[in-house]
Amino acid sequence: MSEKKKITVSIMDGPFENARTVTALRLIDIAARRGYDITVFAYEGAVSLAFVKQTAHANAVHGRDAAEEDHPLPREWIAALLQTATANGGSIDWINCGLCVDERGMSEAIPGTRRGSPADLLKAAEAADGTLIIGTR
């Protein structure tokens, strides 16, 4: 039996600001469906992606109430990805960089994520088959 693949992804963008977030989550989704062991190191603004207080809203410009608008919330996407990975025999270790959490006041993250440090990124990268760093601008 071949060994389970491990990938590490580091991201930096907060929610609703940049297409990089969606591309990163698409990559993680693909790996989760394959049952890979995935480490995500959320650095800088990305620690806000799993913030519990993200809230959907209506959109008068679109003419839709909150239910109809069904606004994406990255915290829900992440929760779904965590489940998908587990359901397919893999895992996602979602790590929020602790100092970045502190300075942004983002201590309330969804269950299944944890606080960590750059040492975690290094450790995960050393063990991974492949590592992708997605910077920001």
136 in contact with other proteins (CB under 8 A):
yes
40 in contact with other proteins (CB under 8 A):
no
| Direct distance between the N- and C-terminal alpha carbons of the chain, in angstroms, rounded to an integer | 42
Contact 100, 47 (CB under 8 A): yes
- According to CB under 8 A, which residues from 69 to 128 bind other proteins? 117-119, 121-123, 125-126
The single-letter DSSP state of residue 59 is: B
Q: What is the CB neighbour count within 10 angstroms for residue 1?
A: 3
Beta partners for residue 42, in sequence order: 11, 96
Out of 15, 16, 34, 35, the only residue in the binding site for other proteins (CB under 8 A) is 34
How many residues bind other proteins (CB under 8 A)? The answer is 32
17 in contact with other proteins (CB under 8 A):
no
Taking CA atoms, 1 is separated from 4, 5, 33, 85, in Å, by 9, 12, 18, 19
> Could you tell me the smallest distance in angstroms from the CB atom of residue 26 to other proteins?
6
> What is the binding site for other proteins (CB under 8 A)?
5, 7, 10, 12, 19-20, 23, 26-27, 30-31, 34, 36, 43-44, 117-119, 121-123, 125-126, 129-137
